[in-house]
Amino acid sequence: MDALTKAALLGTIRTRETPFDADSPITALVTAVADGDREWALLLQAGARAVYQAAGMIPHRRTAPLPDPAPDDDQPLCSPQAAALLDLLAREGQGPLTYDELLPEALQRLIDQGLRVPPEILPNLLSKRLDVGLRPLVRQVIGARGRWLAQFNTAWKWATPTPLADAALLPDADTIWLEGTPAQRNELLQRMRAVDAVRAREWIADAWKKERAETRAQMIQALAIDLTLADEPMLELALDDRVQAVQQQAAHLLLQLPESALSQRMIARADALLDWHDQALTITLPHTIEPDASWKRDALPDKPAQGVSHVDWLLQTTIMRVPLSHWDTRFGVAPAALVAAAAQTDRATALISGWTQAVWMEPRADWIAALWAWWQAAQAEAASVGMLRTMLQHLPSDLAEQYIQANMQQTETTQDVRWVALLDDLPRPWSASFAQTYLAVVFDWLERGEGLTVPRRQMLETLNVAALALPHAAFDLALAASPLPDLSTVPAAQQWEAVRWQRNWDVFTQTISLRHRIQKEIH
């Protein structure tokens, strides 16, 4: 507390302190003017200090050395037009346009061209609330000056150069592992796992019993890097963890090792349920469907989801954890024949759901073709969309587009538009051929008929996805003409829906125009 504030709080009778030195000209002036009136002297001193502070002061002598200046940067600057565009995309709260979703494309474009952003937009870009996945892109475009600047703001530390670039060569790697922050230790463990898997596994084993549940889960996740059967003992130990998240992470990795004990246990459980006789599948259910201790230890769910019978749950949960190639080997039957046989059983949905979810372990094209055809013909649309999405996420982009494109082209003769819900799962950007098919189908539905039918409303939902997924080759086609009807010709009962379409179409075209600008300005 300074002398003036103390005098004001305690009262002039209790203190005679002055905010200025006794020999200060201000003290002499106040003493002469106040003429012994202490209260008046206090007010004069407060006024004098206000003027003094407004006028400025001599800076304190710096005790810390000045930081080294920013290093020279030989990475070329982007153009002023590109900088203005980046600055626009980095701003928060831009309304209906998907600026946050366009920023990754602009950053990647800068990286591809080997450019960096100018210094004046660095604070704006570094201060933006970024997804963790975007940070590596930003690091590559801020240049040496940006990385230098990041050290002066704790919120920007993620942009500073990491000391863990080569974990194997760090002389103090063991010290960082033992004494570093949780983030440093996790990053170091992942980098070490990539260059020295044995050493990383030894770190985990030594620290296992002393770590929190969250840290144990991260340790197990790191084992996914260069996963081998040598990691099985550590993962089996994690199956006995008291925290379910740790168990599940360990089980997920063990199932990726076909020779692991857990994989063999799941195969034995599945073999007891399924058999093949006389070109037909037979399902043999156990005497009890209640999970035992071994079931729970293998991180399997101990009860079905609401609305699912115990029998279907047992069958699906078991089958989905067995590699698809096991059934080829065991039964010697093609996937299409097995799916057709499964469809004839009274547990068709549960069994085929299990096979579909097993695609994550082994995304086989022949299995996916058979499973896709069955789900495409299924009547339960909500369930089929989820299963189709499961397969789609494991397909190469050309094959994924091929499946969706076939469904889109059938829309002309059917009301089935389940493909609408799957568009967002396709890799981006789409191919030119797929984009042309999409635009043709959407334009056709928009222009067909007088009423705004249910499929047309569902088409509306695809515009935001398409605006970010269309390839540059399709921009001109997308912007050529609006397929929307003249509002004056739309019946009164459908005016609201037509206006909604118009607004979404405007956002669609503006987003495409911005993406076109990204390609034009960043070169």
More confident residue, 421 or 433: 433
Segment 462-487 mean pLDDT: 85
Looking at residue 450, its pLDDT comes to: 41
User: Is residue 449's pLDDT more than 60?
Assistant: no
More confident residue, 11 or 258: 258
**401-440: b (≥16 Cβ within 10 Å) or e:** bebbbebbeebeeeeebbbbbbbebbeebbbeebbbbbbe
Segment 107-120 mean pLDDT: 95
User: Is residue 474's pLDDT more than 90?
Assistant: yes
Mean pLDDT of the chain: 85
Cα–Cα separations (whole angstroms), residue 390 to 161, 347, 366: 38, 20, 15
Percent residues over pLDDT 70 in the chain: 86
User: What is the distance between the alpha carbons of residues 449 and 452, in angstroms, rounded to a whole number?
Assistant: 8
Segment 77-96 mean pLDDT: 82
Looking at residue 41, its pLDDT comes to: 80
User: What is the distance between the alpha carbons of residues 242 and 245, in angstroms, rounded to a whole number?
Assistant: 9
CA-wise closest residue to 318 among 275, 277, 272: 272
Looking at residue 204, its pLDDT comes to: 96
CA-wise closest residue to 99 among 522, 513, 520: 513
User: Is residue 343's pLDDT more than 90?
Assistant: yes
Looking at residue 358, its pLDDT comes to: 95
Segment 267-285 mean pLDDT: 92
Cα–Cα separations (whole angstroms), residue 522 to 106, 135, 446, 509: 8, 20, 34, 20
Confidence grade of residue 502 (pLDDT, cut at 50, 70, 90):
confident
**Cα of 376 vs its chain's centroid, Å:** 29
Confidence grade of residue 235 (pLDDT, cut at 50, 70, 90):
very high
> Among the listed ranges 111-120, 368-377, 449-458, which one has the minimum average pLDDT value?
449-458
* 102 token code pair: 């366009």
Segment 322-333 mean pLDDT: 94
More confident residue, 428 or 288: 428
Confidence grade of residue 436 (pLDDT, cut at 50, 70, 90):
very high
Interval 297-324: pLDDT, tens: 887 877 777 777 888 888 999 999 999 9
User: Which own/partner pairs from 16-25 qualify as long-range (CB within 8 Å, at least 24 positions apart)?
Assistant: 18/45, 19/45, 19/49, 20/45, 20/48, 20/49
Return the bridge partners of 277, or none: 280
Please report the DSSP string for 108-177 in residue order: HHHHHHT-B--GGGHHHHHHS---GGGHHHHHHHSHHHHHHHGGG-GGGGGGSPPTTTTGGG-TTHHHHH
How many CA atoms lie less than 13 Å away from 308 in the CB half-sphere? 19
**256-269: b (≥16 Cβ within 10 Å) or e:** ebeebebbebbbeb
Looking at residue 16, its pLDDT comes to: 64
User: Is residue 90's pLDDT more than 70?
Assistant: yes
Looking at residue 517, its pLDDT comes to: 93
**Cα of 189 vs its chain's centroid, Å:** 21
Residues contacting 238, CB < 8 A, separation 6+ = 216, 220, 246, 247, 249, 250
Residue 490: strand, helix, or coil: coil
Looking at residue 331, its pLDDT comes to: 95
Cα–Cα separations (whole angstroms), residue 459 to 7, 123, 125, 226, 483: 74, 40, 35, 43, 12
Please, are residues 315 and 273 in contact by the beta-carbon 8 Å criterion?
yes
Confidence grade of residue 451 (pLDDT, cut at 50, 70, 90):
very low
Looking at residue 95, its pLDDT comes to: 60
Looking at residue 316, its pLDDT comes to: 92
Cis ω for the linkage preceding 104 (within 30 of 0): no
Looking at residue 220, its pLDDT comes to: 96
> Among the listed ranges 80-94, 136-150, 156-170, which one has the minimum average pLDDT value?
156-170
User: Is residue 166's pLDDT more than 60?
Assistant: no
Highest mean pLDDT among 27-36, 95-104, 172-181, 198-207: 198-207
One-letter amino acid at 44 equals L
